[in-house]
Amino acid sequence: MQFSSARPYFVFLATFVLVIASPGWAASPDLAKRLESGSRSDSDKARDPGRKPAAVVAFLGIEPGMTVVDLLAASGYYTEVLAEAVGPDGKVYAQNTDFLLKMRDGINEKAMATRLTNDRLPNVERLDREINDLGLAGGSIDAVLTALNFHDIYNGRGPEAAQNVLRVIHTVLKPNGILGIIDHAGTAGADNEKLHRMDEAKVVEAAKQAGFIVDATSDVLRHPGDDRTQMVFSEGLRGATDRFVLKLRKANSKDWN
């Protein structure tokens, strides 16, 4: 499967001006404090209240020393969060498709290059490859995170394309490996493609078909004030949409006993 179509499924992904500095792994034993006090850009830090990255990482169980993938990383907000979370003994693959890197005059390519300038995040490796050709060994990854992307795949490309993506992730994950999916919550029966939203039940159904089980769900990014009827980039709503967070685990034989 290729994500190189000119159709702008990822057009609304943003990028930021970054401060170049050393990350300082041991700034604090607490991830939230490290994210706040470290060398991350002010624009990234400004997004933290709406994204609650430390809480999301804790929920997904991402720990120091893990090998993780930021799938469809765009400008790399979560790439840097994950780099801090896994520490110097861990590894983060920042995966982007050719289309995502070239969209809007290369906005994500420029942002990612800036973020990683001068080996600023030494435990991050760019993975500029299509999802069906990641080049990662099967059973080599502890966790995969994809944020605000699944709705574009499922609604834009269809359920089979979503299945293909989930199967690729399933293959590269270790036994009991974790897939974290964050997305704008939609309502069953609504025009979620137009609204850039996703019906959570459809994600769960697709994940189960691909060999995952729902390990846990979190309300950490819920926003009851969002009635899910507006497009997610509407004035006053951007950054404050109702979002679900799913922790999906690669099922093993014991799960079926």
List the chain domain ranges: 42-256
Q: Can you give the pLDDT at residue 210?
A: 97
pLDDT at 18 over 70: no
DSSP H helical ranges for 158-199: 159-172, 192-195
Looking at domain 42-256, its CATH architecture is 3-Layer(aba) Sandwich (3.40)
- The span from the CA of 221 to the CA of 26, in Å, is 27
Helix axes 42-51, 77-86, angle to 10 degrees: 80
Read off the pLDDT of residues 207-245 as tens digits, 9 standing for 90 and up.
Answer: 999 999 999 999 999 999 999 999 999 999 989 999 999
Read off the pLDDT of residues 113-157 as tens digits, 9 standing for 90 and up.
Answer: 999 999 999 999 999 999 999 999 999 999 999 999 999 999 999
- The span from the CA of 20 to the CA of 17, in Å, is 10
pTM score:
0.87
If one compares 72 and 254, the residue with the highest pLDDT of the two is 72
10 Å CB burial of residue 102 (0-12, 13-18, 19+) is: middle
Indicate the pLDDT class of residue 38, thresholds 50, 70 and 90.
confident
Indicate the pLDDT class of residue 15, thresholds 50, 70 and 90.
very low
DSSP H helical ranges for 91-158: 98-115, 150-157
